[in-house]
Structure 1
Amino acid sequence: MKIQDFFQLPDGRTARLYSLRNSSGFGADITDFGGAIVRLLTPDRNGKLVDVVLGFAEPADYIENGPFFGALIGRVANRISNGRFTLGGKTYQLELNDSNGKNTLHGGRCYGRRLWEAEVVDDYTLKLTLNSPDGDAGFPGNVKVEVVYHITEDNALSIAYSGTSDAPTVLSLTNHSYFNLNGEGAGECGDHSIMIQAGRRTEVDEFLAPTGRNPEVAGTFYDLRAGKSFAKIHEENPNCFDDNFVLSDEAESFKENVAVAWSDRTGIELACSTTAPGVQFYMGFFLDGTLRGKTESSYPQFSAFCLETQLWPDAVNHPEFPSARLNPGGEYKQYTVYKFGVRN
């Protein structure tokens, strides 16, 4: 595995970049700062390797990483309504860092803006570890998190998440990569299509916090089970998607090809499989063209999409949702595979 210095933090520590590659050149560059996927190379229908994830032109921009490009997300992915939850009879108030000032987004002081400890397992595998102390961003319990990235010879990137705590707490992790299957600087994704095997979705209020209802998608804009082009989605709703799709009612079984996206232009296909009970499909509404990407191009609105496998958002406030609670002696686990291929 190739390892190189990536950038220097203000406190003098060095963030490094780890390059995982298989024999055909498929692979990912991952930094130990935020666990971010900086580059992901996969072949198109002509065999050309294409970098399909967004990222910054300047490595040090990963320190702030406002859009969470490629980052590991924790302690709790997505939104916590009013930044508040109750556990064991005690109420915890978190930072309200969402753009509307109403919710906690991605755990407040996100794990994607920390330096992780890295261990090279082999040329195909990188393990990252983070210790999150009691009171971190307002959450209880000393939590140890491990994330293992692994690539395969059949062009898959898997992410295995695990976590333990010495006190009752909540934990829900994900990765926030932004994909463009035409290449990271290729502009809008109108020639993409997507299929999501979900019969329900998590309803949200005007501030994007769950209402507690998970209505059926049949006969609505949210029904993506038969596949739909991004252009058609935009035509039907100019705001497009930033929604959690319900994959199951529990966080255990491995569900294959729960979401499949593809590009007509390059033929690249991305199939997502996971043990998580939900997946957030986000189409880049908040991208605005002001960020300078890796190929010196801007990233306009809708120039990428995310498939964030997760517990349902705000599960900490909805006992009827799959639980985010983690007790001492227990272990949080989540496993996701992004498998790449080509449609001719």
Structure 2
Amino acid sequence: MKVELFDFHLPEELIAQVPLKERDASRLMVLHKDTGEIQHESFKSVIDFFQQGDCLVLNNTRVMPARLFGVKEGTGASIEILLLKQQEADIWETLVKPAKRIKEGSVITFGSGVLKATCVGTSDHGGRLMKFDYDGIFYEVLDALGEMPLPPYIKEQLDDRERYQTVFSREIGSAAAPTAGLHFTEEILEHLKEKGVHLAFITLHVGLGTFRPVSAETIEEHEMHAEFYQVTEETATLLNDVRSKGGRIISVGTTSTRTLETIATKYDGKFAAESGWTDIFIYPGYEFKGIDGMITNFHLPKSSLIMLVSALASREYVMGAYETAVKENYRFFSFGDAMLII
């Protein structure tokens, strides 16, 4: 299948640069996957589309302030490092700018020497493996020195970095936010519980590969990035119980979806507690085994994310919905509006 089939024209002014003042003030497009019918709602009305016994699955990962600015010892050159993936102990796979300045043995200091990083090798994808030295707890040091790694299409500075975290974020480890969850408030979650909707939490640490467009000519040639996930016994038991009683499982975001589908594929439509790495690539033709619907944002052209969404509601319906979203001036990408596919 040609990647070009998932391209669309997006005016630059529709790319949301800052979050709305209120998380739940965004718009909600409801796409009925069996008919292609579209409804235009506010996100607060999402509660109306759930029934007692349904289960909403949320990714509780927390974004690291993973962008660091330091200087190279010996030359004083300014260096930017972006943490991608922890390899072992204090060794991380990173992206470095400018990469050509950093070779094995190079040392970078941050915050007047509070944190140091030594290059100990290169990764399979051309990044640098950096070993960090510090006193105390690494994430506390990172919290003091690091900045939020906002996607490249966001040019504005973020005044409150908690707005790039969901209200239910708990497990630190992501290089990017699971942005479909940014619309939820504590009040909406409470109202859903009052309605008899179950809340289940999984963890998938989002990598920057999420934002990369598919560069191959055909979908089948694309190599999917791997991301770490974890599902607890409590969550697996709840999901199996909901499924056995006929309730719907609605995932929040492509990250929750990839996690649930990875496990449901292994266990013939059932769920189990486990952790690991998933590189599942979902595109049209895929038969869903774990979810019945999903809440998601509006994604980049030719990205693996729009392909996943198109697998759930058909390419024709999704691309038609995106055309409507552009005409109706929906806000796109991380800080944009939401879509519910049921």
TM range (shorter): under 0.3
Decide which structure has greater helix share. 2
TM-score, scaled relative to structure 1: 0.27
Decide which structure has greater strand share. 1
Question: Relative contact order (C-alpha < 8 Å, sep 6+): which is higher?
Answer: 2
Computing the radius of gyration over CA atoms, which structure comes out larger, 1 or 2?
2
TM-score, scaled relative to structure 2: 0.27
